[in-house]
Amino acid sequence: MNATIDVRVSRAFAASPEAVFDAWLDPAWLGRWMFGRGVRAETVLHLQTEPRVGGRFSFLVERQGQRIDHIGTYLEIDRPRRLVFTWAIRGESDDDGSTVAIDLTATPEGCMLTLTHTLPAQWADYAARTQQGWTTMLDALRRLF
């Protein structure tokens, strides 16, 4: 088995697990918190999802004149508890074994989301940057609720 590193970020949301879960699969929602000018200096070129197990996604953005296509495959969709998908940058880390798991638990105030990004050991130098990226995105998502 290949060595991996887990990056974890948790956030409480004042929204139902269903609402937060759905925000991960709907391109209109993704463009409000994961990508776009509201999150960082970039232009969204497309946000395409095929939200079924085995379905793929492509989130193509342009940053500083460079096109970056975040791609992956949905591995597990258990609404509203768990979402698991591969995560890669087309041309840089295609199919390198990077996965993201989103776990949601209902709370009296809404829900708790725990994101675990499992990175192959060769990406260890990017763990802090990965954690900061997800932190920025989850904070943007939380502001929407």
Torsion (CA) 32, 135, 73, 84 in degrees, nearest 10? -110
Q: How many other CB atoms are there within 10 angstroms of residue 77's CB atom?
A: 18
Continuous H helices in 25-69: 27-33
pLDDT exceeds cutoff 70 at 93: no
Give the pair of three-digit tokens for residue 101.
């798991």
pLDDT tens, 58-81?
999 999 999 999 999 999 999 999
pLDDT tens, 124-136?
899 999 999 999 9
pLDDT, position 22: 97
Q: What is the mean pLDDT of residues 84-103?
A: 87
pLDDT, position 95: 66
pLDDT exceeds cutoff 70 at 28: yes
